[in-house]
Amino acid sequence: MLQKPKKLQAGDLIATASLSSGMAGEDAFLARYLCGKSRVEGLFDLKVTELPHTLKGEDYVHNHPEERARDLADAFMDESIKGIFSCIGGEDSLRMIPYIDYESIRNHPKIFLGYSDSTITHLICYKAGIMSYYGPSILAEFAENGGLFKYTEKWVKKVLFSDEPIGEVEPPAEWTSEFIPWEAGNEERPRKMLPNGGYEVLQGTGIKRGRLLGGCMEVLEMAKGTEIWPAKAEWEGKLIFFETSEEKTSPEMLRRWLRNYGVQGIFEKAAGLLFAKPYDEQYYEEYKEVILEVVCDELGLCDLPIFYNMSFGHTAPMSIMPYGAMAEIDCEQKKFRIVESGVC
């Protein structure tokens, strides 16, 4: 089992991190960063600071993966910092791996929050033996036009600030992935919301339990074969969660990725699969067809429970998935529950 970090409390100090893209430090996005920082401070009564290279800008952050890794290690070892929130994803967190100090993470467990390319940092935390949290980032969620979604705010508070069991995670009533440019004049322009259809059960019956493991599929592909890729035994009995990014991966590419998990023997021992809503609902029906073709028709795993259209990915609002937490899916009731606390 993974170590649980301590829950956040009013007045705690949070550090923001640029572990992939350095765009938070660019002049064009600094106002949005400061908006997200202010929201974290105001809505959750937290103090927020930056790590040494958080606002160094895209070129510097890109050229110095060793400094990003040092920021991460220093943040974990700094006893005054109670949590680390990712500024944004990107595409090259992977380049930190040769410089990671796993002992600094293992010996100083604390909250790490982020998604998308932060999947790499989550797998680093997983290898180090601590629970981390797939959820909102400073630029993409906390700085949401017009205000942080109440749904997202609810799950930040319930997962990171409470040591009670998290419980049922209901789907949001509405969703969006509309893109409004992050530029002056758009700060209070809310995105268009659409009705959300709720969870779908593609196959499976009964109630299944398992610990959560997964992330952004495009980033998981980068991690395969590296030192942070979980061993086959680590996937056994897991509820594996997958989401795809704004790149809108083609159904054919999704098919190839799923086949890879199949031939690794990962799906054979899984407790179930959880898929988030695709970005813009692009390929919504096609993804379902591909998932069933690979999992049921090709692999013969027609009893493996599969949930679809969940809200933990690149669409908004989003819930939080704690890596390693025990969760439960009810195929008849179409319900998803996290049956333990995310923090201690």
The pLDDT tens digits of the residues spanning 24-82 come to 999 999 999 999 999 999 999 999 999 999 999 999 999 999 999 999 999 999 999 99
pLDDT for 150: 98
* Alpha-carbon span 211 to 322, nearest angstrom: 9
pLDDT for 288: 98
pLDDT for 320: 99
pLDDT band at 335 (very low <50, low <70, confident <90, very high): very high
> Quick check: 18 and 84 in contact, CB under 8 A?
no
Q: What is the pLDDT of residues 2-23, one digit of tens each?
A: 999 999 999 999 999 999 999 9
pLDDT for 178: 97
pLDDT for 238: 98
Based on the fold, state whether residues 92 and 42 are members of the same structural domain: yes
Based on the fold, state whether residues 283 and 206 are members of the same structural domain: yes
Cα–Cα distances (Å) from 183 to 172, 214, 223, 322, in that order, read: 27, 32, 33, 32
> Residue 255 CB: number of other CB atoms within 10 A?
18
Q: What is the pLDDT of residues 135-145, one digit of tens each?
A: 999 999 999 99
Based on the fold, state whether residues 183 and 152 are members of the same structural domain: no
Across the range 205-223, mean pLDDT stands at 98
pLDDT for 79: 98
The letter for the amino acid at 107 is N
Based on the fold, state whether residues 64 and 128 are members of the same structural domain: yes
Based on the fold, state whether residues 242 and 334 are members of the same structural domain: yes
Residue 2 domain flag = no
**Cβ neighbours for 112, distance < 8 A, ≥ 6 positions apart:** 83, 84, 86, 118, 121, 122, 125, 132, 133
Based on the fold, state whether residues 126 and 193 are members of the same structural domain: no
Alpha-carbon torsion angle 18, 229, 288, 274, nearest 10: -80
Based on the fold, state whether residues 150 and 203 are members of the same structural domain: no
Q: How many whole angstroms from its chain centre is CA 315?
A: 12
Based on the fold, state whether residues 181 and 325 are members of the same structural domain: yes
pLDDT for 157: 98
Based on the fold, state whether residues 329 and 195 are members of the same structural domain: yes
Q: What is the pLDDT of residues 227-251, one digit of tens each?
A: 999 999 999 999 999 999 999 999 9
Based on the fold, state whether residues 153 and 181 are members of the same structural domain: no
Instruction: List the Cα angle 97/256/113 in 5-degree steps.
Output: 40
Q: What is the pLDDT of residues 78-103, one digit of tens each?
A: 999 999 999 999 999 999 999 999 99
* Alpha-carbon span 13 to 116, nearest angstrom: 24
Evaluated on CA atoms 234, 240, 246, 249, the torsion sign reads positive
> Quick check: 84 and 12 in contact, CB under 8 A?
no
Residue 344 domain flag = no
Known catalytic residue: 243?
yes
Known catalytic residue: 314?
yes
- Per the structure, how many domains does the chain have? 2
Q: What is the pLDDT of residues 252-279, one digit of tens each?
A: 999 999 999 999 999 999 999 999 999 9
> Can you give the residue range of the structural domain that contains 109?
13-164
CATH number at residue 69: 3.40.50.10740
pLDDT for 130: 98
Known catalytic residue: 62?
no
Residue 1 domain flag = no
Q: What is the pLDDT of residues 271-319, one digit of tens each?
A: 999 999 999 999 999 999 999 999 999 999 999 999 999 999 999 999 9
Based on the fold, state whether residues 45 and 142 are members of the same structural domain: yes
pLDDT for 89: 97
Average pLDDT, the chain: 98
pLDDT for 31: 96
Which position among 86, 243, 311, 341 bears the catalytic label? 243
Based on the fold, state whether residues 241 and 327 are members of the same structural domain: yes
Residue 288 domain flag = yes
Which position among 21, 116, 137, 311 bears the catalytic label? 116
pLDDT for 344: 98
